[in-house]
């Protein structure tokens, strides 16, 4: 299952970012998902629930998928158009000399941490945990 492999990549990245920031739990992960990334959001969410709940750091955490529209650029007439609608052939000039500008990304945009619950042990000093960790970087998926 393709989506499960991607989920494992995401969880590993989340673990790395959380560790680097001293975060023990995350409440949600926002993922930028390109229209032509080949990833099915529903399958990804199912795989996330299954795999994330097995890790203490992501247990119960929500995966928020933010779709990214696929856009192709035409080198001949210099215009951009919707990839899903028109494919590799430019609808403006009919050229096939085109390339994808965006729409293939599978990228963590943001990681949210839960509000710190006050405990008896931490009455003196509040734990300085970031509410949001900026983790925007591409996942390298073979
Ligand atoms: Zn064109």
Give the range of the structural domain holding residue 10, as residue numbers without chain letter. 2-69+102-136
Is residue 114 situated within a structural domain?
Answer: yes
* pLDDT computed for residue 123 by the predictor: 41
Give 98's strand partners.
74
Is residue 94 situated within a structural domain?
Answer: no
Distance of CA 100 from the midpoint of ligand 1 (Å): 13
Work out the pLDDT band at 137, boundaries 50, 70, 90: low
* pLDDT computed for residue 115 by the predictor: 72
| CA distance linking residue 73 with residue 87, whole number of Å | 11
| Lowest model confidence (mean pLDDT) among 10-14, 18-22, 89-93 | 18-22
End-to-end CA distance of the chain: 14
Mean pLDDT of 120-137: 48
Distance of CA 75 from the midpoint of ligand 1 (Å): 7
Distance of CA 78 from the midpoint of ligand 1 (Å): 6
Q: How does pLDDT run across 25-43, given as a tens digit for each residue?
A: 999 999 999 999 999 999 9
Is residue 39 situated within a structural domain?
Answer: yes
Is residue 87 situated within a structural domain?
Answer: no
Q: Give the pairing type, strands 28-34 and 62-68.
A: parallel
Is residue 95 situated within a structural domain?
Answer: no
* pLDDT computed for residue 124 by the predictor: 42
Output the domain CATH number for residue 26. Answer: 3.30.2320.50
Q: How many domains would you assign to the chain?
A: 1
Is residue 41 situated within a structural domain?
Answer: yes
Distance of CA 89 from the midpoint of ligand 1 (Å): 8
Mean pLDDT of 54-66: 97
Distance of CA 86 from the midpoint of ligand 1 (Å): 11
| CA distance linking residue 63 with residue 124, whole number of Å | 34
Q: What is the pTM of this model?
A: 0.76
Distance of CA 87 from the midpoint of ligand 1 (Å): 12
Is residue 47 situated within a structural domain?
Answer: yes
Is residue 11 situated within a structural domain?
Answer: yes
């Amino acid at each position: 299952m393709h989506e499960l492999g991607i989920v494992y990549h995401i969880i590993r990245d989340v673990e790395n970012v959380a560790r680097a920031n001293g975060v023990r739990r995350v409440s949600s992960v926002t993922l930028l998902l390109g229209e032509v990334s080949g990833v099915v959001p529903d399958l990804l969410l199912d795989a996330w629930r299954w795999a994330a709940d097995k890790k203490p750091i992501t247990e119960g955490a929500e995966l928020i998928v933010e779709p990214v529209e696929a856009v192709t650029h035409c080198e001949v007439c210099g215009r951009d158009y919707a990839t899903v609608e028109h494919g590799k052939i430019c609808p403006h000039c009919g050229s096939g000399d085109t390339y994808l500008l965006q729409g293939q990304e599978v990228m963590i945009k943001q990681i949210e941490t839960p509000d710190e619950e006050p405990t008896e042990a931490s009455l003196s000093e509040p734990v300085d945990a970031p509410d949001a960790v900026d983790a925007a970087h591409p996942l390298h998926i073979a």
